[in-house]
């Protein structure tokens, strides 16, 4: 099962994804956390450190900023895989002028028997950015979110820390 969790900055996306993973760990099963962030500056290092503190030690961790499909295919032995986050993955690819292949990542997630949870940011509800690269990022992230939402079994929007099911099962935490 593929799940997409989206929302604005600090809306509770990662915490909600971890709550799903924690439930799996509590039942004695294996969980993998795939982090796409890179510590490119002091502020990002602090964000990453905060996320590590919030994550339980039972998670296996792979830090992979670009090769998500490859990581997912190799994650067959896990009961749940959390990818946090697609938006940073997209940003990492754009910074290196690599064309993102959304379908490749989606297919990789669908090809394994694990539950896969993708975390993403909603970037299109704000103002139109002034810089062309920022507009391209906003447009690509919107296209990415639409592509993932189309193929995910469940889509959850986070608003003010509250999960709202847009697609799929309604039994959310």
Q: Encoding tokens for residue 149?
A: 């939402």
Q: Encoding tokens for residue 110?
A: 């669908």
State yes or no: is 51 an active-site residue: yes
Q: How would DSSP label each residue in 63-116? A: E-SS-HHHHHHTTTT-SEEEEE-HHHHHHHHHHTTPPP-HHHHHHHHHHSSSEE
Distance CA 164, CA 89 (A): 24
- Which candidate in 29, 30, 51, 66 is catalytic? 51
Annotated active-site positions, please? 51
């Amino acid at each position: 099962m593929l799940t997409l969790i989206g929302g604005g900055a600090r809306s509770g996306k990662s915490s909600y994804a971890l709550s799903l993973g924690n439930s799996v760990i509590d039942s004695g099963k294996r969980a993998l956390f795939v982090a796409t962030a890179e510590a490119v500056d002091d502020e990002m290092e602090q964000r990453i450190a905060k996320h590590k503190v919030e994550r339980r030690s039972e998670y296996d961790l792979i830090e992979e900023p670009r090769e998500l499909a490859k990581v997912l295919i190799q994650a067959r032995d896990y009961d749940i895989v959390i990818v946090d986050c697609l938006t940073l993955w997209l940003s990492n690819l754009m910074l290196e002028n690599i064309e993102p292949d959304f379908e490749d990542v989606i297919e990789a997630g669908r090809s394994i028997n694990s539950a896969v949870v993708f975390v993403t940011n909603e970037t299109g509800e704000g103002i139109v950015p002034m810089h062309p690269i920022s507009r391209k990022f906003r447009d690509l992230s919107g296209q990415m979110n639409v592509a993932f939402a189309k193929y995910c079994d469940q889509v959850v929007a986070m608003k003010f820390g509250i999960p709202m099911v847009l697609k799929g099962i309604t039994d959310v935490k």
